[in-house]
Structure 1
Amino acid sequence: MIKSQITLKQLEAFVCVVDMGSFRKAAAVLGTTQPNISNRISTLEDSIGIVLMHRDAGSVRLSEKGEALLATARQVLWNAEAFLEVAERQDLIADRMRLGVTELIASTWLHVFLRRFREAYPSVAVELEVELSTGIEQKLAAGQIDLALQTGPFLHESTDSLALGTCPYIWIAPPELIARTGPKTRLAELLLTPVLIHARHTLASKELLKFAETRKLATDRIVFSSSLASCVQMAVDGMGAALLPAALVREQIESGTLVVLDCDWHPKPLEFFARFNGAKVSRFVEAAARLAVEVATGSGGRINSIDHPS
């Protein structure tokens, strides 16, 4: 039998320092102090009599032997997690998952996903960040989050990406506006009045501006907002028609505070993905991604949504 003083925490520190590129960042990820991380690595190196990495002015550089041992260290950590999964003791997996989601997901099915994930992994804490998809993508690429639930397309590739489904955009307006204009309208007419839409650099906004430009339609009354929730409230308050993801305004449409407009133009539906780096993250991150697929596509591939009029 092999007897050793090597611990999983030491291997975890080793792998995390390599992935994050510094002891300070690894300490932040693992929720401990930089001296603690340094001590774990030093103790590991002393135990095996090998220098795993060279410390150079705040950065780290793997030694030749450290490079060779890195993949094995990852495999040991994954196998330890797999051992608990086979034993059906996921409750013993005490860790954290850094999760980045878009506002639309946070406003629709995120609570269902978090509840089911907590049931499966009760000892894994979730650190949640809600922001625009572009910001989430940047943090995923930098290793600052483990799992991204976001919209495509992407500037940076991830090693693993699972499709979550689509969500169409619809035009909506308060009933009093519909009473004046009728339920059917053309984009050229809509753009003569205030139009509420997501941030300027989002895909839908870009599509709308491009379409309007090619047909020389007015764009000076478009109101851009980085907050989808604010767009919904402004529409409810009668500030104008809005172009929004259908899933976001389901309740308002069902209650009658907003009405669907039949317009002759719509942008492409949003496409959602669960993205992560399977070569680096814990096994429960992939399990979380697959759970997100189950929750998001539970209604036939639509993100809890309704279709716009045909």
Structure 2
Amino acid sequence: MLTLKQLETFVQVVELGTFERASQRLNATQSTVSKRISELEQASGLRLFDRSRRNARLTEEGERMLELAYATLDGAKRILELNEQPERVLHRVRIGFTDLAALTWLPGFLRDYTIERPDIRLDITIDMSRTLYQQFQDGELDLVVIPQVPEAFAQPGVETRLLEEVEMAFMAREGLVDGPRPIPIGALERYTLISQGKRSGFAQDINRWLSHQGMAAANLTADNLLALVGLVAAGRGISVLPKLCVQRFAREQGLEILKTIPRLPTIGYYALYHGGVRIRLLEELAHRLVNAADFTRPFFFSEKSSARS
């Protein structure tokens, strides 16, 4: 059986040039050194030294073995150092968010969490929820924060944690929608409906709900949330948007929140993560996300602006 002692002896013989010098360095007898080299050759099936010469001269097979021996001994050293220097261990977690989190509480969370947990490196992906969920299923992401995905709750090995229920509302440029308030949902059908595309989980949920109310799907799409707000502010149509988040700067953008009958449902945002050997790390991270999540306040929105609204 091949051992680290054999590899260490082999390296010492090569570096010092003779079996005698290697035995002195290793504080072992020369016969012990010879025995370890013979056992290494027997275990590997390779002839490592040209014994026709006085000095320990490597064969071609020995040259190849030397490179692997260095790598193996270095790897073994790193393994032993794990327990001696645990502070050097850096845990990498691949985590995905939609742009609503990125526009609200995520920047503050990353700032604080990076300071508090320097041992954890968060690799961040910002994308549409359906894309993130597919990457999560494919094992490319360890944790995602996305609107509820019904099939995820029945998937073995997937843990879920509710972060927040986000209130949704129809919005339009002031003066675009006439008539009494609250507005029957059916009365909005004559306006252009702007929505995020098929890769958006919350857009799919809203479109499904609107379909049950007899309302047609969106005929204008923009995947970026800020672009969506911009199109509504430009008077291109109406859209379903996160109410409290957009409400903070709706007046400055000339937007109106449309009260409807019936009211739109809330959208639950969840942290999804895989179980397994890293379950405690991911559970702790999910708990921190629950405490940090606030989808109501844009990170770029000042307290002064909040007071005016």
Fold agreement, TM-score > 0.5? yes
Q: Distance in 1 between matches of 2:150 and 2:257?
A: 30
Partner of 1:186: 184
Shift of 1:183: 5.0
Question: In 2, Cα distance between the equivalents of 1:181 and 1:269?
Answer: 25
Give deviations 1:27-84, integer Å, cap 9, x for gaps: xxxxxxxxxxxx79x939x97xxxxxxxxxxxxxxxxxxxxxxxxx9xx9xx969x95
Per the alignment, do residues 196 and 239 of structure 1 end up closer, same or farther by CA in structure 2, a change over 3 Å counting? same
Task: Assess, with a 3 A threshold, how the Cα gap between structure 1 residues 145 and 268 changes in structure 2: closer, same or farther.
Answer: same
Kindly indicate whether residue 121 of structure 2 is the aligned counterpart of residue 125 of structure 1. Answer: yes
Q: CA–CA distance in 2 between the matches of 1:279 and 1:140?
A: 14
What are the Cα deviations for residues 184-230 of structure 1, in whole angstroms up to 9, with x where unaligned?
3222221101122222465554455555555655x376423322222
Alignment of 1:62-141 (within 5 A): 92-141=88-137
Instruction: Give 5+ residue unaligned stretches, structure 2.
Output: 6-67, 298-309
Instruction: Provide the residue aligned with 1:229 in structure 2.
Output: 226
Secondary structure of the 2:291 match is helix
Superposed displacement of residue 140, structure 1: 1.6
Q: Distance in 2 between matches of 1:208 and 1:278?
A: 30
Inter-partner Cα distance in structure 1 for 2:217 and 2:282: 44
User: 1:150 pairs with 138, 146, 150, which one?
Assistant: 146
Q: Indicate conservation of the 8 Å contact 1:172/1:258, yes or no.
A: yes
Amino acid at match of 1:43: T
In structure 2, do the counterparts of structure 1 residues 282 and 196 end up closer, same or farther at CA, with 3 Å as the change threshold? same
For the Cα contact (< 8 Å) 1:93–1:121, is it kept in 2?
A: no
Deviation, 1:132, is: 1.8
Matched, 1:243 2:240: yes
Map 1:31-70 → 2, pairs under 5 A: 43=72
Which residue type is aligned with residue 191 of structure 1?
E
Q: Secondary structure at the match of 2:175?
A: helix
Structure 1 match to 2:273: 276
TM-score when normalising by structure 1: 0.60
1:215 to 1:164, Cα distance in 2 relative to 1, 3 A = closer
3-state SS of paired residue (1:191): helix
Q: C-alpha displacement at 1:111, in angstroms?
A: 0.9
Q: How far 1:291 moved relative to its partner?
A: 0.7
Would the alpha carbon gap of residues 230 and 266 (structure 1) be closer, same or farther in structure 2, given more than 3 Å must change? Answer: farther
Corresponding letter in the other structure for 2:166: C
Query: How many Å separate the matches in 1 of 2:83 and 2:273?
Result: 20
1:236 & 1:204 partners in 2: Cα distance? Answer: 21
Change in Cα spacing, 1:93 to 1:141, as seen in structure 2 (3 Å) is: same
Q: Contact (CA 8 Å) 1:207, 1:267: kept in 2 or not?
A: no
Letter in 2 for 1:110: L
Q: Separation in 2 of the partners of 1:101 and 1:204?
A: 13
In 1, the alpha carbon distance for the partners of 2:254 and 2:130 equals 31
1:130-182 superposed Cα distances (whole Å, 9 cap, x missing partner): 1122221221222211221112124343432222121021111122325x446
Separation in 1, partners of 2:83, 2:252:
50
* CA–CA distance in structure 1, aligned partners of residues 97 and 210 of structure 2: 30
Gap change, CA 1:242 and 1:154, over 3 Å in 2: same
3-state SS, counterpart of residue 176 of structure 1:
coil
**In 2, distance between residues paired with 1:220 and 1:271?**
21
Deviation of 1:248 after TM superposition, in Å, equals: 3.8
- The two structures have a TM-score, normalised by structure 2, of 0.60
Counting aligned pairs with the same residue, the percent is 18
May I ask how many residue pairs the two structures share in their alignment? Answer: 226
Query: Structure 2: how far apart are the matches of 1:293 and 1:273?
Result: 9
1:198–1:231 Cα contact (<8 Å) kept: yes
Unaligned runs of 5+ residues in structure 1 are 6-38, 48-72, 298-302, 306-310
CA distance change for structure 1 residues 183 and 93 in 2, over 3 Å: closer, same or farther? farther
> Larger radius of gyration, structure 1 or 2?
2
Q: Secondary structure at the match of 1:250?
A: helix
SS at match of 1:177: coil
Q: 2:176 is paired with a residue of what secondary structure?
A: helix
Query: Deviations 1:7-30 (Å, cap 9, x if unpaired)?
Result: xxxxxxxxxxxxxxxxxxxxxxxx
Structure 2 residue matching 1:155: 3-state secondary structure: helix
1:257 partnered with 2:254: yes
Compute the RMSD of aligned alpha carbons.
3.7
